[in-house]
Structure 1
Amino acid sequence: MCLGIPGEIVELMADRADFAMVSVAGVKRVVNIGLLEDEELKAGDWILIHVGFALSKIDEEEAAHAIRMLEGMGQAYTDELIALAQSDLGVQP
């Protein structure tokens, strides 16, 4: 199963405009935000992520709802977090 999981942007990477440091379930991870080039992103914004790529910008209420729903899915959510943790975009924080 493929899931999108919410993450909060911690910082935009100054030297790489297409990457951001994002907190997902308490773990900080570099995420490619290149697909959202038309969005004005900043620290504190929430994004929907799948295997290291931001798919859309979402608001905090939507993120909280999605997290509750995903946690209720049990193993599928855990598997998606593992996939995110294993994704390597080749960018050092």
Structure 2
Amino acid sequence: MKKLCTAANLMEAQIKLDLLGHANIDARLFNEHAQGGLGDIPFTHAYPEVWVVHDNDLARGQVIVRDFEKTPIETRVVFCRACTEENPHNFQLCWRCGAGLE
């Protein structure tokens, strides 16, 4: 088992873990509950870590994580014609009123 990466937060770690799972790479999440120890342990020891179970999957896992980290953050928005609410560009329905955003 080898450490693949450290994540900034649990959500990011879980996304990386899911991406690895979709690629049939067996991986584990560590420090899942370490946030509660902040103050007693250094904050860098509380970051979630993703480890691959099989050492031969490390290189393939690194490519997947690197591609994920290179993905640009989508900041475009679209406004609902029905209620004028701001929605992320990739939404198909307005989160507020449920109207279509096409």
TM-score by length of structure 1 reads 0.29
**Larger strand proportion, structure 1 or 2?**
1
Name the structure, 1 or 2, with higher relative contact order (CA <8 Å, separation 6+).
1
Give 1 or 2: higher helix fraction. 2
